Amino acid sequence: MTQTKVAILMGSSSDMETMEPARQMLKEFGVECEVKVLSAHRTPDQAIQYAKEAKERGIRVLIAGAGGSAHLPGVLAAVSLLPVIGVPIKSKALNGLDSLLSIVQMPAGIPVATVAIDGAANAALLAIQMLALQDESLFEKLQQYRKKLQEKVLQANQ
């Protein structure tokens, strides 16, 4: 059986820094991932082919970061039945509001889960939660992670 994986995709190499927290979070939980630059506009054929073949290669969730018109998550969702999580990337023109609205306004029938602007870490956590539905050890790691978050907040009061 193929190892469960998450794909982290972005429209430009300039998005790498913004998407790095997703890779780090997946690594922290021991979830294997692939990281690729694929543009909905500059390399549409490759992006579509990647999404269509992802499941056969063991990918279970697609995380797609995109800025500006932010079409990558929607293109991936249009051609794949895998869950797609969109990460709107902060843009120069509208501080990421353009990206957020582009990703979140998908037509009925083609969903894309969407996290906060530059919210790559939460995208990874959402992917981990999806995978944990079928992986008890991953579920336990999530429980421990949440417990650490709670302890950190409570310690701040001392």
Instruction: Retrieve residue 151's tokens.
Output: 């302890």
Whether the predicted pLDDT of 156 surpasses 80: yes
Q: Distance between CA 129 and CA 89 in Å, rounded?
A: 22
Confidence of residue 1 (pLDDT cuts 50, 70, 90): very low
pTM of the model: 0.95
**Nearest in space to 112 (alpha carbons), one of 56, 70, 147, 50:** 70
pLDDT per residue as tens digits for the range 7-61? 999 999 999 999 999 999 999 999 999 999 999 999 999 999 999 999 999 999 9
**Nearest in space to 27 (alpha carbons), one of 53, 11, 8, 13:** 8
Neighbours of 114 (CB within 10 A): 24
Report the phi/psi class of residue 109: left, alpha or beta, with left for phi > 0 and alpha for psi in -120 to 50.
left
Identify the CATH number of the domain in which residue 145 sits: 3.40.50.1970
The total domain count for the chain is: 1
The strand pair at 32-37 and 59-67 is best described as unpaired
Q: Which domain holds residue 74?
A: 5-155
Instruction: Retrieve residue 122's tokens.
Output: 């939460």
pLDDT for the residue numbered 2 = 47
pLDDT per residue as tens digits for the range 52-109? 999 999 999 999 999 988 999 999 999 999 999 999 999 888 999 999 999 999 999 9
- Burial grade of 3 (CB within 10 A; 0-12, 13-18, 19 or more): exposed
